[in-house]
Amino acid sequence: MTGASSGIGQTTAIECSKMGATLVITGRNQERLQETFDQLEGDGHQQLIAELTSQEEVNHLIASLPSLNGVVLCAGIGITKPFQFCSRDNYDKIFDVNYFAPIELLRLLTKKKILAKNSSVVFVSSVGGVRSFNPGNGVYGASKAALNSTMKFCAVELAPKKIRVNSVNPGMVHTKLIKPGTLSEEQLQLDMQKYPLKRYGEPNDVAWGIIYLLSDASSWITGHSLVIDGGLTI
């Protein structure tokens, strides 16, 4: 599981461990990854530090992995910036983390045959850029739209290997990606009123959707984008 140091990734890792899963978690920050590791239930878990935008570190990560029955590709970063002020550097930075890193990792996992037969892959995408188009969200949304598109191609191509590939598409979730100062508390409260359920999601709301897609309960589902957004996109 990538992006396990905080937010949705951390919560998903903890919830998976509660259900008996043996985990390999990865992140960039040793201290924050250790915080997640200390909260995992059960034994046999591993933690591996890796910067997923570094090919060298990704290769080392791949070489350290056991056979896997499930993968959650959760690492991601955000940016809020009007289109006319978005430089190529902005696109490169966001796409390197949100798109190229998870796609390259999945490519190597399949090429090196680390993913076992009947395994499940879950990308953490977003409704942004896929079903919701807010001003200033173009770079982030484009990276998530690309991720969702590639997910479907992977689902088709990996189906003969009995590997399922899906994504979850959350609305706004209370994580560190909602940076203090980007929006005021008043603006956040006003934005929540757009949601029929009148609140942003919590990490658990998304984690349980990820767990469903990892589990045998979804064994006939592949190439699907599971929207978890409190009703925003209706």
pLDDT tens digits, one per residue of 27-58: 999 999 999 999 999 999 999 999 999 999 99
| Model pTM score | 0.94
Q: How many independent structural domains does the chain possess?
A: 1
Q: What CATH number is given to the structural domain containing 47?
A: 3.40.50.720
Q: Is the residue at 234 inside a domain? A: no
Q: Is the residue at 233 inside a domain? A: no
Identify the pLDDT of residue 180: 54
- pLDDT class of 182 with cuts at 50, 70, 90: low
- Spatial distance between the Cα atoms of 227 and 14, rounded to a whole number of angstroms: 22
The distance of Cα 74 from the centroid of its chain, to the nearest Å, equals: 2
The beta-carbon contacts of 96-102 under 8 Å, at least 24 apart in sequence, are: 96/53, 97/52, 97/53, 98/140, 98/143, 98/144, 98/147, 99/143, 99/146, 99/147, 99/150, 100/53, 101/2, 101/52, 101/53, 101/58, 101/75, 102/2, 102/52, 102/73, 102/75, 102/147
- Indicate if the pLDDT at residue 181 is higher than 80: no
- pLDDT class of 9 with cuts at 50, 70, 90: very high
Q: Is the residue at 66 inside a domain? A: yes
Q: Is the residue at 191 inside a domain? A: yes
- pLDDT class of 87 with cuts at 50, 70, 90: very high
- pLDDT class of 68 with cuts at 50, 70, 90: very high
- Spatial distance between the Cα atoms of 196 and 118, rounded to a whole number of angstroms: 37
Longest CA pairwise span in the chain (Å) = 50
Phi-psi category of residue 86: left, alpha or beta, with phi > 0 → left and psi -120 to 50 → alpha? beta
pLDDT tens-digit map of 149-160 = 999 999 999 999
> Alpha helices, DSSP H only, in the chain?
7-18, 30-38, 55-64, 88-95, 101-111, 138-158, 185-192, 203-214
Inter-residue contact 50 to 28 (CB < 8 Å): yes
**Which residue bears the tokens 């909602």?**
178
Domain that holds residue 216: 7-228
Angle between helix axes 101-111 and 138-158 (nearest 10 degrees) is 10
Identify the pLDDT of residue 184: 78
Catalytic residue annotation:
140
